[in-house]
Chains A and B, each alone.
With several copies, the nearest count.
Chain A
Amino acid sequence: MSLPDRDARLTDPAALAAERDAVLGGSGLEPAAARDHLAGLPERRFASYAYRNRPGRPYLQPRGGFPSLAKQRLLTEALAEAGADFIPLTVDSHTRHNDYPAAARLLARGLAEDRDLLNGYPLISHGHLATRELYRQLDRPVSLRHGTPDARLLVETALAAGITEIEGGGLSYTLPYSDRYPLDRALGHWQYVDRLCALTGPAGLPVHRESFGPLTATLVPPVITVVVQLCELLLAAEQGVTSFAVSFGQTGSLEQDLAIARVLRATGSALLSRFGFAEVELRLVYHQWMGAFPDEPALAWQLIAVGALIGRLAGVDKVVVKTPDEATGLPSVASNAAAVRAVRYALELAPHSEGITSEVVEEEADLLASEVNQLLAHLFEHPAPTFLQSVYRCVLSGAIDVPFAPHRDNRAALVPDRAAGRQIRILDPGAVPISEEDQRRERKLLGSRLPADQPLWQRLLRDVRLLA
């Protein structure tokens, strides 16, 4: 049996200290720097604290990262002024792949040419002290947004810079975000990050962790979304994390979004109690549509508004905001701020509507719960020595299979499809252990397939660009 367990905690202080020295080597970052800095921050700079005091509406958080300090400050101030409850620090893709030299080179060249040559903020290049200054007057939490299999140095730097919410996980930041980074090594690195987060926050103000629900944002069946989130919740709880948000991306189906919200919260809480992690404060985050966006701003605004409304109906704790520039490229400060104002306004259009449901929602929730429980049982009954090993082997075996993941270890045998009512269905489960009964229900709900009126590449493109 390989059940989640406190004993999996990296409790050997010497071993952890040694690994930290290796990670921090040459970075100029002192091991105690983050702990000391966080200890001096006011409560309102802590995501865990903010979640405990959420007003009667979901929080909202945009994304955003510019190469230069000056522009990141401008963005930070504009987003706060527009009403963002959490401020993002989105990291560039070179830094995400630990290519710090490339990030530094392109930062320098960009500053020289007064051009943005990075698609995000090169946190390692700027370092924790310069980044702290961005948030000197800030009165709300900052969240690290990235996509990094080995985020150890990145998170050490982020915590030392005063960032109190760390997004990511061994599965959700490896399978969709890399093609060959060794998955077991990434899972180990994220145990390090979880352990670091568990130890670095001041008493009563834990560093908050958030898993990345959307994965590849392309036809990911809800059972895969939910189980990946629950794995990362339990892996973090094993390391002593006590404030965690599970999350999911807008599926394109109102009913499936409501079903996922319900099953994810309920199963998450149940598993935390079952495995002795009842002290973990569990939150739920909803990403507005993460797939291909329409080019025309007027249409993008419609998708953004419907996403905000669904997040409100699903009773989520935070909505991660998209901008009308999504299909074009990195958003301008102005359009990002407008998106924050717009979503803040949209979230108020249906206050107190959390009780919304339907027969279709109940059926989706029932089927999802059944599929999740089967896959969890498979995970927990796995002969692997530890829960982490069980998670790793279930990816290799294809029991956990993320459609459209670029990663070589992802089996990619699961064939998803979309029903007329926009629900994401499982056409062929591949190696994912789904009962015959539930497979039958999935196919029935999928309904008759459209005739192959076009070549496969065009049908796939049409499906993927359904909302574009």
Chain B
Amino acid sequence: MGRAAVTRRPVVVLGVIGHDIHVVANRILAIGLAEHGFHAVNLGTNTEVDDFLDAARETGAAAVLVSSINGEGEQACAGFGARLAEAGLAEVVRYAGGNLVIGHRPSAEVERIFTGYGFHRVFHRPSDLTGMFTALRHDLGHVAA
């Protein structure tokens, strides 16, 4: 489960993908990750797939959280899982979250699309983050609080 040693705080890379500048959730996520015992590596806004790959490789990240809020996600996140695998990072846990598509589309459809992109979990317009933190702990087998 992830290349990071369990004792050391697992590294989680997060960022907002595309020409997206919505930073509020990103800042809150970064604080929450720290409070849940993770080491957050925050790429901030206006990121690209390669930024996530580089950061994941350099920091030995256990997980990558990709945020998209302005609707560009459906394009920007295509093939994300495959790109990670190519870079030898297939083991890294991948979440997508935010307002993942343009306009109003059924959540089930959005989840299908992003799961198809290779994300392990998809959080389309969740009103809270508690579920995600719990899932992350579970997926990284990390129990330290």
Interface residues of A (CB under 8 A from B): 93-94, 96-97, 99, 102, 106, 116-119, 147, 176-180, 216, 218, 295, 325, 327-330, 332, 404-406, 408, 455-458, 460-461, 464-465, 468
A106 touches B103 (CB 8 A): no
Contact assessment for B19 and A97 in the assembled complex, using a CB-CB cutoff below 8 Å: yes
Q: Contact partner of B27 among A147, A176, A332, A404, CB < 8 A? A: A404
Residue of B20, B102, B104, B129 with highest tally of chain A CB at under 10 A: B102
B contact residues around A178 at 8 Å (CB): 21, 46
Residues in chain B near residue A119, CB distance under 8 A: 70-72, 102
**B129 near A457: Cβ-Cβ < 8 Å:** yes
Complex CA–CA separation, A329 to B46 (angstroms):
20
Given contact pairs A93-B20, A147-B21, A457-B129, enumerate 14 new A-B contacts (beta carbons under 8 Å): A93-B19, A93-B70, A118-B102, A119-B72, A179-B23, A179-B45, A179-B46, A406-B21, A406-B23, A406-B44, A408-B44, A457-B31, A461-B129, A465-B127
CA distance A408 to B21 in the complex (A): 12
Closest Cβ of chain A to B43, distance in Å, is 10
Q: Which residues of B are interface residues toward A (Cβ below 8 A)?
A: 18-21, 23-24, 27-29, 31-32, 35, 44-46, 70-72, 74-75, 99, 101-105, 125, 127-130
Q: Check B72 against A93 for contact (C-beta < 8 Å).
A: yes
- Best-surrounded residue of A94, A179, A180, A465 (most CB of chain B within 10 A): A179
Chain A residues in 8 Å Cβ range of B70: 93, 119
- A216 to B45 Cα, complex, angstroms: 14
Name the A residues within 8 Å of B101 (CB-CB): 329
A117 CA to B129 CA in the complex, in Å?
27
Q: How far is the CB of A434 from chain B (nearest CB, A)?
A: 23
Closest to B35 in A: A455
Question: Which listed residue, B18, B19, B46, touches A180 by the CB 8 Å rule?
Answer: B46
Task: Tell me if A464 and B103 are in contact (CB < 8 A).
Answer: no
Q: How far is the CB of A94 from chain B (nearest CB, A)?
A: 6
Q: Quick check: A117 and B74 within 8 Å, CB to CB?
A: yes
Docked-complex contact B74 and A177, CB < 8 angstroms: no
Q: Which residues of A sit under 8 angstroms from B105, Cβ to Cβ?
A: 329
Q: Find A117's partner among B23, B46, B75 (CB 8 Å cutoff).
A: B75
- Per the bound structure, the CA–CA distance linking A395 and B129 in Å amounts to 33
Interface pair B24/A464, CB less than 8 Å apart: yes
Q: Is the CB of B20 within 8 A of A117?
A: no
Q: How far is the CA of A405 from the CA of B72 in the complex (A)?
A: 20
Chain B residue with Cβ nearest A106: B75
- CB-based nearest B residue for A292: B24
Residues in chain A near residue B130, CB distance under 8 A: 458
Q: How far is the CA of A177 from the CA of B103 in the complex (A)?
A: 20
**How far, in whole Å, are A327 and B102 apart by their CA atoms in the complex?**
12
| Set B28, B44, B103: member contacting A330, Cβ < 8 A | B103
Q: Given A329-B71, A461-B128, A468-B127, A97–B46 Cβ distance below 8 Å?
A: yes
Q: How far is the CA of A305 from the CA of B23 in the complex (A)?
A: 28
